[in-house]
Amino acid sequence: MKIGVIGGGQLGRMLALAGTPLGMNFAFLDPAPDACAAALGEHLRADYSDPDHLRQLADEVDLVTFEFESVPAETVAFLSQFVPVYPSAESLRIARDRWFEKSLFKDLGIPTPAFANVLDQADLDHAVIEIGLPAVLKTRTLGYDGKGQKVLRKPEDVVGAFAELGSVPCLLEGFVPFSGEVSLVAVRGRDGETRFYPLVHNTHVNGILELSVASSDHPLQALAEDYVGRVLEQLNYVGVLAFEFFEVDGGLKANEIAPRVHNSGHWTIEGAECSQFENHLRAVAGLPLGSTAKVGESAMLNFIGSVPAVDKVVAVADCHLHHYGKAFKAGRKVGHATLRSKDRATLEARIKDVEALIKG
Amino acid sequence: MKIGVIGGGQLGRMLALAGTPLGMNFAFLDPAPDACAAALGEHLRADYSDPDHLRQLADEVDLVTFEFESVPAETVAFLSQFVPVYPSAESLRIARDRWFEKSLFKDLGIPTPAFANVLDQADLDHAVIEIGLPAVLKTRTLGYDGKGQKVLRKPEDVVGAFAELGSVPCLLEGFVPFSGEVSLVAVRGRDGETRFYPLVHNTHVNGILELSVASSDHPLQALAEDYVGRVLEQLNYVGVLAFEFFEVDGGLKANEIAPRVHNSGHWTIEGAECSQFENHLRAVAGLPLGSTAKVGESAMLNFIGSVPAVDKVVAVADCHLHHYGKAFKAGRKVGHATLRSKDRATLEARIKDVEALIKG
């Protein structure tokens, strides 16, 4: 089976590493000459809206999937004429737009921070009165790793904020006094079978994920599964979906979903029976899903900007390096380490070991 | 770091799957147009003794390693002029010739079946008198998966046997009434650090490995490590080496070594903290070695001739499919499954599940 992937970054790379042992081949559509997934499959180097290359991709592969959600809607629509596309165009349409996304959560009874659609500065001024400050103004689409966001703390911050974010459709979200950020990675097969990984506790720094720790018997696991299950069913979703929540007052408020394999699920490569990458491929290929059970106690640390010396990283006990083969650049995710330890105390010590390497 | 691999079959493929997350790139020299490792790296499609392509390989990579031991000695010598080659030419010279290999074992005090060098029919006749029947006549080089062997049971079998195996240098080995076949996979770094995986119990059918089961606290582990350690040190070996033994009367008799990653170590991908493939790459690259400790209870079943339906294989609990992407052909290793279970009883049940699929 040949899988077409829109995007050829590290998520595509890890999909190929998981799918090759299943007998799958890969083609990546990515305009970047140095797309790091290209080492593991065919590289169609073209723009995401180039009809000739999209047609070529559709002709070559058995199905198409994505490694990022901001694929143009027209791309998905075009491909869908010729080849199955998972997750569906509708799932992508919702997930890539914060307004559609939050509105879906609301419709499904999933608690969210207060939010309002902001199409101009007047909308923003009105929304601030309604929601109050502090609040966060976010572009509805194309935001990632904290980009496309502005925190509004004082009335002066509101002035001109809409223009500052590019005068594009935005969402204003009320500030949530959260005690933690957690994500649930789920997978749903073509037949509707659904499985959930354990809740992961995430630490972000400057909007970029730094550390994910997989939980054991998290008291909010069942509630999170309930919320995520509602979304999966409503979208008739196929593939892996990650759902980020704020922990607030012992409950959960929905932040956002990613309709793809997700950074907070990278620990599953070593830390779960079947990784998010293999389970995504199993789901889109119509294969039975794999076990989402944990193996040991796991955490993931991102390498941002650069990967510490490889000999130092692999010398850390319980440590598994994932180097993305990308050029180092400040703020760029260029690798990660998974730690899989026999108990929580050992895991905590190992996290400190890797953190020390990152700090240099 | 770019690694050159002589051979582009499934061992090369699994080396690349293990090395890519370490940030390594791969080039495979293999004359076969459909070399299955080619999906994961550059494919230099040329004969193993083609000097232009060997030179190109040497120029492109940081070091060269092998996925099979019958590489021509001249190839290794040629490459060694330009680029580090691990394991060394001397290790390959010994390991690929049964006479050199058995003589080394004898020199190091490692018990072996009775053996004699056979360079013509007269040698054979003489050796049969000395060793007795039954015995096995094996070509000194190029044998694998039971090929290049003839069992001699009766005096009539001896007549013309040397010519039957092609009138090439052979070894006669006394038949050993073994109770089991075990292998020890070991890894030795450039700095001499050595680690051993748990002993594996192997079941062969018609000379082809069918099932490997990793042991726990095997009573012969320490003895096997002693024997293998002697060979590693004597050869100043770098990389993974597999050592096959017969279990005889509660002790071990040396059968053969393979100077490479080995089929009986495939279970380590899921069943050990660091796989034989990653550890081989760490060793040849001069990186610290990874843990050889087990994760759960593991076994490996080869798929010979064909891979059962993928949906059926991945539906088996605890099962991890490794499809080599090779054309199906009788007697050919085209994939394997690793089972990693929480206890031995579960593992035994899962082995039966996969065996049922293989039998169709």
Q: Where are the domains of chain B?
A: 2-85, 114-174, 180-359
Identify the pLDDT of residue B145.
66
**Which residue out of A268, A287, A316, A350 would a mutagenesis test of the B interface target, given it has the greatest number of B Cβ atoms within 10 Å?**
A287
B295 labelled as ligand-binding?
Answer: no
What's the pLDDT tens digit per position in B175-190? 999 999 999 999 999 9
Chain B residues close to A25, C-beta within 8 Å:
39, 325
Identify the pLDDT of residue A231.
98
Q: What residues have CB less than 8 Å from A121, skipping those under 6 apart?
A: A160, A161, A162, A163
B52 labelled as ligand-binding?
Answer: no
Half-sphere exposure (CA, 13 Å, Cβ side) for B204? Answer: 17
What ipTM, to 2 d.p.? 0.94
Q: Are B338 and B309 in contact (CB under 8 A)?
A: no
Chain B residues close to A288, C-beta within 8 Å:
311, 314-315
Identify the pLDDT of residue A145.
66
What's the pLDDT tens digit per position in B296-336? 999 999 999 999 999 999 999 999 999 999 999 999 999 99
**B 289-318 residues with CB < 8 A to A:** 290-291, 295-296, 307, 310-311, 314-315, 317-318
CA distances from B244 to B223, B240, B248, B254, B291 (A): 13, 13, 13, 6, 21
What's the pLDDT tens digit per position in B19-59? 999 999 999 999 999 999 999 999 999 999 999 999 999 99
Using a CB–CB cutoff of 8 Å, tell me whether A346 touches chain B.
Answer: no
Q: Are B43 and B12 in contact (CB under 8 A)?
A: no
Our CA-based measurement puts residue A50 at a distance from the nearest CA of chain B, in whole angstroms, of 25
Q: What would the two tokens of residue A304 be?
A: 């941002």
Using a CB–CB cutoff of 8 Å, tell me whether B39 touches chain A.
Answer: yes
Identify the pLDDT of residue B207.
83
Contact yes or no for A288 and B314 at CB 8 A:
yes
In order along its 360 residues, chain A shows pLDDT tens digits of 999 999 999 999 999 999 999 999 999 999 999 999 999 999 999 999 899 999 999 999 999 999 988 888 889 989 999 999 999 999 999 999 999 999 999 999 999 999 999 999 999 999 999 999 999 999 998 866 667 899 999 999 999 999 999 999 999 999 999 999 999 999 999 999 999 999 999 999 988 999 999 999 999 999 999 999 999 999 999 999 999 999 999 999 999 999 999 999 999 999 999 999 999 999 999 999 999 999 999 999 999 999 999 999 999 999 999 999 999 999 999 999 999 999 999 999 999 999 999 998
How high is the mean pLDDT of chain B?
96
Residue of B nearest to A17 (CA): B17
Chain A residues close to B340, C-beta within 8 Å:
273
B290 labelled as ligand-binding?
Answer: no
Rounded CA separation B286/A269 (Å): 25
Identify the pLDDT of residue A71.
87
Q: At what angle do helices B73-80 and B51-60 cross, to 10 degrees?
A: 40
- Same topology between domain B114-174 and domain B180-359: no
Please determine, looking at this structure, whether the domain spanning B114-174 carries the CATH number 3.30.1490.20: yes
Question: Which residues of A are annotated as part of the binding site for ATP?
Answer: 98, 138, 143-149, 173-176, 181, 204, 255-256
The CATH superfamily assigned to A180-359 is ATP-grasp fold, B domain (3.30.470.20)
Res. B169: pLDDT tops 70: yes
Using a CB–CB cutoff of 8 Å, tell me whether B216 touches chain A.
Answer: no
Identify the pLDDT of residue A133.
95
**B 131-160 residues with CB < 8 A to A:** none
Identify the pLDDT of residue A74.
86
Query: pLDDT > 70: what percent of chain B?
Result: 99
B173 labelled as ligand-binding?
Answer: yes
Chain A residues close to B282, C-beta within 8 Å:
314
Chain A residues close to B307, C-beta within 8 Å:
23
CATH of domain A2-85: 3.40.50.20
Written as one string, the DSSP assignment of A98-166 is HHHHHHHHHHTT-----EEEESSHHHHHHHHHHH-SSEEEEESSS--TTTTEEEE-SHHHHTTHHHHTT
Q: What would the two tokens of residue B53 be?
A: 């392509």
H helix or E strand, kind and range, residue A171: strand A170-174
Our CA-based measurement puts residue A324 at a distance from the nearest CA of chain B, in whole angstroms, of 7
Q: Are B96 and B90 in contact (CB under 8 A)?
A: no
Q: Are A249 and A220 in contact (CB under 8 A)?
A: no
Q: Can you tell me which residue has the tokens 């499959």? A: A41
In one-letter notation, the amino acid at residue B292 is T
CA distances from A278 to A7, A160, A232, A285, B320 (A): 17, 45, 19, 10, 10
B247 labelled as ligand-binding?
Answer: no
Chain A residues close to B286, C-beta within 8 Å:
311
Our CA-based measurement puts residue B40 at a distance from the nearest CA of chain A, in whole angstroms, of 5
Identify the pLDDT of residue B144.
67
Rounded CA separation B343/A48 (Å): 48
B213 pLDDT tier (thresholds 50, 70, 90): very high
